[in-house]
């Protein structure tokens, strides 16, 4: 499990998911685009939904428990970025299957 540190808060994600969130967030912030990031916590942590405002003015840090980088699924990054343009912001969607080359 990895941790997204944002505005003095900690949010846990598995390393694979966190890697894709990191790439999507960094893409948006490099473009100077602020946005909401929204996801549902695991059921064992209760019900509800997290929504945080991601902005260049707030430090963000990613911590990975694993030491190896994960393979990036470009389709997942594209799906995350596509949702970020909506009024409710970037939704943490499930990873789509990789397309066969």
Mean pLDDT of 55-83: 93
Q: Which of 98, 101, 37 is nearest to 71 (CA)?
A: 98
Quote the CA–CA distance of 55 and 46 in Å, as a whole number. 27
Residue 65 domain-assigned (yes or no)? yes
Predicted confidence (pLDDT) at residue 101 exceeds the cutoff of 60: no
Residue 99 domain-assigned (yes or no)? no
pTM here is 0.89
Residue 68 domain-assigned (yes or no)? yes
Residue 97 domain-assigned (yes or no)? no
Number of domains, the chain = 1
Q: Which domain holds residue 85?
A: 2-91
Residue 82 domain-assigned (yes or no)? yes
- Report the length, in residues, of the chain: 101
Residue 98 domain-assigned (yes or no)? no
Partners of 13 in beta bridges: 2
Residue 101 domain-assigned (yes or no)? no
Band (pLDDT 50/70/90 cuts) for residue 80 is: very high
Other beta carbons within 10 Å of 4: 21
CB of 21 within 8 A of CB of 92? yes
Residue 36 domain-assigned (yes or no)? yes
Residue 17 has φ and ψ, to the nearest 5°, of -65, -45
């Amino acid at each position: 499990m990895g941790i997204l540190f944002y505005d003095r808060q900690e949010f846990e994600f598995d390393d694979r998911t966190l890697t894709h969130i990191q790439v999507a967030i960094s893409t948006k912030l490099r473009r100077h685009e602020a946005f909401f990031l929204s996801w549902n916590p695991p059921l064992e942590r209760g019900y509800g939904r997290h929504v945080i405002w991601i902005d260049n003015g707030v430090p963000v840090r990613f911590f990975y428990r694993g030491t190896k980088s994960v393979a990036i699924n470009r389709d997942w990054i594209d799906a995350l970025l596509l949702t970020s343009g909506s009024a409710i912001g970037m939704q943490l969607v499930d990873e789509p299957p990789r397309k066969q080359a």
